[in-house]
Amino acid sequence: MRYAVIALGLALIMTGTASQVPAADRLDELERALEAQKKTIELLQQEINALKQQRARQQALEQEVQGLKRAQAENRQLTKEVEQLKATAKPTFEAGFEKWQPYIRSTDGNFRLSPVGRVQVDFRAYEEGARNLDGSDLRNNFLVRRGRIGLLGTFYKYIDLFVEADFGQGAAVLTDGYLEFRYWPELRLRAGQFKVPFSYEELFSDNTIDFVERSVADNLTPSRDLGAMLHGSLFGGVVYYAGGIFNGSGQNTADTNDSKDLAGRLVVLPLKLAGLSELGTLHLGADVAWGDEDRGQSLRGRTDGQFVYFNRINTRGDRVRYSGEVAYYTGPFTLYGEYIESQEERKGLGAGGRDLPDLFGRGWYVTTTYLLTGETKVPGQPVIPARWAVPVGPERGWGAWELAARFAQLDFRARDITGNRVNALTLGVNWYLTPNVKWLFNFVENWFSDENRSPIKGEEASWELLTRLQLWF
């Protein structure tokens, strides 16, 4: 518009002065004015076209915004319909193998069932002339140490079920049977029959222990019982805790009193806490268990080969157990140990109802292992051979080979009785054919403090030979 005003002013000036200039000059002026008006009209047309394009773009943008709003509304509606269909639709199922374990599960991940099992075939041999304390022979023998079958399940995503029975000793015996609610990893609830949260070695699965049998110190642990437990991991797995209440009567045994046993466990991983996991894993743990056993039987002492060198005696009153554990492992190397102590009261069991001195059990062990073939080892976890010693697998070879050594001690004492102590050195070779098939060979030398309660009476030392072939799934 400003160009039109300028052009109009120039035209008036030229018109007002037209009578004062020659005709030829006036013609030139008029032509120049006409040319200026054309340029002005062209510029005005360009501005009009630009305004039209800007308006068109604005209208298109408004249409896109409205379309986006409609799409978002439709997406919310579709999402709602999909969730409703998921809630009402029946899930489909699939089957397969995962980590050497068969399974059937729903495709939505809310339900899963896995059959589990293990077979452990052992052979035990003893030094010639070895006898039990009752005089019967300790015979060399084959046995099915464990023959278990069970079912592991998940229902509604957050509820786990585990039930297992052992047929290895000639009769069906329930080992585990429990439910676990695990909505939060920091706080889980388990109820039923399961292992009491006590002892590093005892909580290892029988599938993954480093020797044919656990150490002699394991005689002091509670093992399985009926009860309930809260447990969980904190700070990204740096801290683990567990606390439970139990009958205190043991596996598949009815409770004998109204009192219940209490047990607690705490584990810390200092190197992980400090951000130094590249240095390996350092594990520190402690446990405590207490219970009023009323009238019952004490703990007993058995060797790796199950020779009983200290029989149970009568007890009445409190039984207190506590332990401390340390483990370090990195790559193919592991080193771990534990100290366990028990104290059992003997109230009113003496002449005239007087109290007898408490019975103390003190045990400890130190274990080290090394995988010669270089695989990574975590105590209590399966070893995954780089090359499997079977026709099928990722790569054929000779499996994984491991050397293991353990020194352990267990001593029972009371002021009014003659106790007995065993020192046990166990040397082992382990062959992992596949992740779930292995062969173990152990040589054990035992030294007893009471020569009259040793396998060969009058001699403090005797040896045992143990071997096992096992498969689990």
pLDDT single digits (tens) 296-348? 899 999 999 999 999 999 999 999 999 999 999 999 999 999 999 999 999 99
Least confident of 46-50, 268-272, 285-289: 46-50
Report CA-CA distances (Å) from 186 to 146, 180, 236, 423, 427: 33, 13, 9, 40, 39
pLDDT (tens digit, 9 = 90+) per residue, 198-215?
Answer: 999 999 999 999 999 999
In angstroms, the CA 455 to CA 307 distance is: 7
pLDDT (tens digit, 9 = 90+) per residue, 440-473?
Answer: 999 999 999 999 999 999 999 999 999 999 999 9
Give CATH for domain 118-472.
2.40.160.10
Is 94 exposed, middle or buried (CB count within 10 Å of its CB: 0-12, 13-18, 19+)?
A: exposed
Whether 116 contacts 473, CB under 8 Å: yes
| In the predicted structure, residue 403 carries a pLDDT above the cut 90 | yes
Amino acid at 240: Y
Whether 268 contacts 281, CB under 8 Å: no
| In the predicted structure, residue 217 carries a pLDDT above the cut 60 | yes
| In the predicted structure, residue 4 carries a pLDDT above the cut 50 | no
> CA 325, 331, 333: angle at the middle one, nearest 5?
50
pLDDT band for 2, please (50, 70, 90 cuts): very low
Residue 16 confidence (pLDDT): 46
> CA 424, 299, 134: angle at the middle one, nearest 5?
75
Whether 213 contacts 424, CB under 8 Å: no
Which residues are CB-neighbours of 110 under 8 A, at least 6 positions away? 91, 154, 155, 156, 157
Residue 8 confidence (pLDDT): 46
| In the predicted structure, residue 3 carries a pLDDT above the cut 50 | no
In angstroms, the CA 86 to CA 90 distance is: 8
In angstroms, the CA 175 to CA 253 distance is: 12
Whether 440 contacts 207, CB under 8 Å: no
| In the predicted structure, residue 377 carries a pLDDT above the cut 50 | yes
Please give the model's pTM, rounded to 2 decimal places. Answer: 0.79
Longest dimension (CA), the chain: 156
The pair phi, psi for residue 257, each rounded to 5°, is -155, 175
Residue 87 confidence (pLDDT): 64
Chain centroid, CA 215 distance in Å: 23
| In the predicted structure, residue 134 carries a pLDDT above the cut 70 | yes
Chain centroid, CA 315 distance in Å: 37
Is 310 exposed, middle or buried (CB count within 10 Å of its CB: 0-12, 13-18, 19+)?
A: buried
In angstroms, the CA 433 to CA 392 distance is: 11
